[in-house]
Structure 1
């Protein structure tokens, strides 16, 4: 510990990492019969051998002492080790907190400052702890203790905490397997990780202000709640309206409605259960993945149905058409989710809502970035491209129809109907989801606001479209056959 403490003072990277690795091995091999607390210079450590079945462990540390007691004033770091470690009496649990004397420098080539130049090391002798389902939680106090810089609100307008671990092989920081649990104004940050090593908190520049993050979170929750309520009303209107139940297009729409109901039902409570039991979080993540895929697939089937109505107008009969659409719309997502769960169950877990910002709200979803990119982003891109093409076909068909001489001069009422039709089709096809492509760079804030407002209210817009469609079907036909066909399409 003296050697490592001297390395911390000298600040030489290679020497420090080598000394840290040696110290970790020495501490794990140290023979002891009871819990032992150690302190040398800017380092504190605690060694503990479990007695009896391991039920988890809480560790608390100040600048000069580490203990297992909860009554620790001015605690700088607290750690919760899960039962899943399954440590036995032959294993030594090692906690080590290192603090560099120079707190103004960055470490190991990072462009960001390590908060209070502090790393927290965790290990268990005889075990290589990775891929935990029940995560390790390291909570760092950001309030300061009178001798350090306080992490106040004005500071967090430009900087935010980000949990990382030190990768000894690359001598660099990484976020793999770690989630940052922190909200604007909180005096502490929790690093929730699925492995044991040396952890720290980097101060990174905020792409979007904490205030905007809070507002966007409220917009999303309120919008999704409104959508869920109106989607349920839409479904009830459908099953109680005989004409709607007899209309094929309405039947296709109602499948999308059900998919969006499932999506909102699993998305809204996901944050609340994010830190609950592993089994429940796995179910929420799997269900949310399935619901999202089902919604995307049914949006593409809306585009396919639109293609049949607009392009293959005179030959659209398909035997057991709705059954075949249902097999595709509900079956493909089930196959994808089942394959992911069978191949790697750990692909589902706790992740930030915004993958580009580890400080955002954590939910139960897909942990593996490759799985997420292929099964959600990839599917979305294909659906979006197809539906954009179908929107173009729709616009072209309406323009050609309005130029036809059989309709005579253009009137404002007809133009309004065309606009309403295009807005309704845009909602059904999920075109507004494409705003995510504009949520970067200088457009990040504006793009995210538009994305959250329009997409969280997608269910409400579908409800309006559905009600207007019911009103149309209830009115007597007053237009020519050609226009009637176009309006229904």
Structure 2
């Protein structure tokens, strides 16, 4: 019990430490040369320490907002590209273009990687500083700031307005990234932002505008922070799921009908009943019939609230599946005896022994599982984010 309590305290402390970095005050004075501080941040990025880099990037954003500029100040240090812009007159929107070496407002750049369109709704004035900062990680093990999957080209784009907390915009901010690295068929881009409060990535308030084959990815978001494109495995659409459901139902139904016809032919044919090999085949067919009979209605049973019916369905599915595997293995043993060890082979009560193995071993396994932990069978959440959806577990 003591070890358990110690472990809980350890995990709790680790969780708090992971997300407490943004609460720390910036130890670096913003009055010093901003280029020197960007070089320091760049060196931290090279170390690969997530907590340090998050804290330094957040402080860098603050320092960039506090810089005293008259109009535009582009800055570039290795893996960091930034531009500071201060509107002189009424703000009518701003477009920023950037490549790996520079970022410029209102002006195109060669080999553009990212372009940003800020709406008029920001209402930035002479007292506000608009900051654009693009970070490209020099190396990564596949997780940038704990990302659940790859960040496209290891790049995050940060946007902020000094003196304002921008969120809930009606006219969205558009961040467009050129597709310079091929996106394979198993990946799909998803626009996300890094939440400095929770130290997690989220897609709330962001839309991903992209179709396969397009040369750019556009993220439309209603707030300002650090954005990136997460490469995720695409999930099946509802239409595809419906098509797969019909294919499964039709395929399993045809299999069930053919298996039943096979068993009926065996029962009505006297010569077939006398053949030992045919009896082994029929046992396998019966196991497959049991599997199909219980598999076809399993989804409907899972949707019901009946615990007893769900328990029976899980037990029957597990048993019939194990019986199918057992009789497949016995088919191989039987063929070995027939084709390899042909002469002088006599096994007393041969079919009975096969039946004990084929039907008995699965029963023993299922019984042991029930005795050890009955809760193994029953309702479990299929999607942890939606606990109301349950399915059978075997």
Q: Give the TM-score normalised by the residue count of structure 2.
A: 0.50
Confirm or deny that 1:118 pairs with 2:150.
no
Instruction: State the 1:104 CA deviation.
Output: 4.7
Residue 58 of structure 1 aligns to a residue whose secondary structure is strand
1:16 aligns with 2:53: yes
SS of residue matched to 1:162:
strand
Question: What CA distance in whole angstroms lies between the structure 2 residues aligned with 1:70 and 1:158?
Answer: 36
What is the deviation of 1:190?
0.5
Quote the residue 1:52 is aligned against: 89
Match of 1:131 in 2: 168
**Using the alignment, how far apart are the partners of 2:171 and 2:83 within structure 1?**
22
Residue 105 (structure 1) aligned with residue 105 (structure 2): no
> Which residue is 2:374 aligned to?
none
CA deviation digits over 1:400-442, x for unaligned, max 9?
xxxxxxxxxxxxxxxxxxxxxxxxxxxxxxxxxxxxxxxx99x
Q: Separation in 1 of the partners of 2:54 and 2:47?
A: 12
Write the mapping of 1:178-217 to structure 2, written as runs, cut at 5 A: 178-208=206-236
Name which one, 1 or 2, has greater alpha-carbon Rg: 2
Instruction: Report the counterpart of residue 258 of structure 1 in structure 2.
Output: none
The verdict on how the C-alpha distance between 1:212 and 1:137 changes in structure 2, with shifts beyond 3 A counting, is farther
Say how many residue pairs are matched: 207
Counterpart Cα distance in 2 of 1:198 and 1:109:
14
Counterparts in 2 of 1:103 and 1:14: CA distance versus 1, 3 Å? closer
SS, match of residue 229 in structure 2: strand
* Aligned mate of 1:30, from 47, 63, 67: 67
Q: Which residue of 1 aligns with 2:200?
A: 172
The answer to whether the 8 Å contact 2:143/2:149 transfers is: yes
3-state SS, counterpart of residue 71 of structure 2: coil
Q: Gapped runs of 5+ residues in structure 2?
A: 1-37, 242-381, 384-394
Structure-to-structure mapping, 1:289-328, within 5 angstroms: none
- Alpha-carbon shift at residue 187 of structure 1 (Å): 1.4
Secondary structure of the corresponding residue to residue 179 of structure 1 = strand
Distance between the aligned counterparts of 2:148 and 2:48, measured in 1?
17
Counterpart check, 1:158 vs 2:186: yes
Matches of 1:70 and 1:190, distance apart in 2: 19
Aligned to 1:95, which of 121, 132, 156?
132
What does residue 72 of structure 1 align with?
A: 109
Tell me how far apart the structure 1 counterparts of residues 148 and 50 of structure 2 sit (CA, whole Å).
15
Counterpart in the other structure of 1:476: none
Secondary structure of the residue aligned to 1:199 is strand
Contact 1:129 1:196 in 2 (8 A): yes
Distance 1:186 1:212, change over 3 A: farther
Counterpart-to-counterpart distance in 1, 2:84 and 2:147: 30
The higher relative CO (CA closer than 8 Å, separation ≥ 6) is in 1
Secondary structure in 1 matching 2:146: coil
Structure 1, gaps ≥5 residues long:
145-149, 214-439, 442-489
Q: Which residue of 1 aligns with 2:351?
A: none
**Partner Cα distance (1:139, 1:44) in 2:** 16
Contact 2:71–2:88 (CA under 8 A) maintained in structure 1: no
How far, CA to CA, are the matches of 2:141 and 2:107 in structure 1? 31
* CA drift at 1:51: 1.5
1:93 and 1:122 in contact (8 A); partners too: yes
Once the two structures are TM-superposed, the CA of residue 107 in structure 1 deviates from its matched residue by 1.9
1:212 and 1:83 map into 2 onto residues whose CA distance is 41
Tell me by how many angstroms 1:109 deviates. Answer: 2.6
1:70 CA drift (Å): 3.8
More helix by percentage: 1
Give the superposition deviation at 1:110: 2.6
The whole-number CA distance in structure 2 between the counterparts of 1:130 and 1:193 is: 9
CA distance in 1, matches of 2:216, 2:203: 18
TM superposition score normalised by structure 1: 0.41
Contact kept, 8 Å, 2:82 with 2:103, in 1: the verdict is: yes
SS of 2:138's equivalent in the other structure is coil
Q: 1:184 Cα deviation (Å)?
A: 1.2
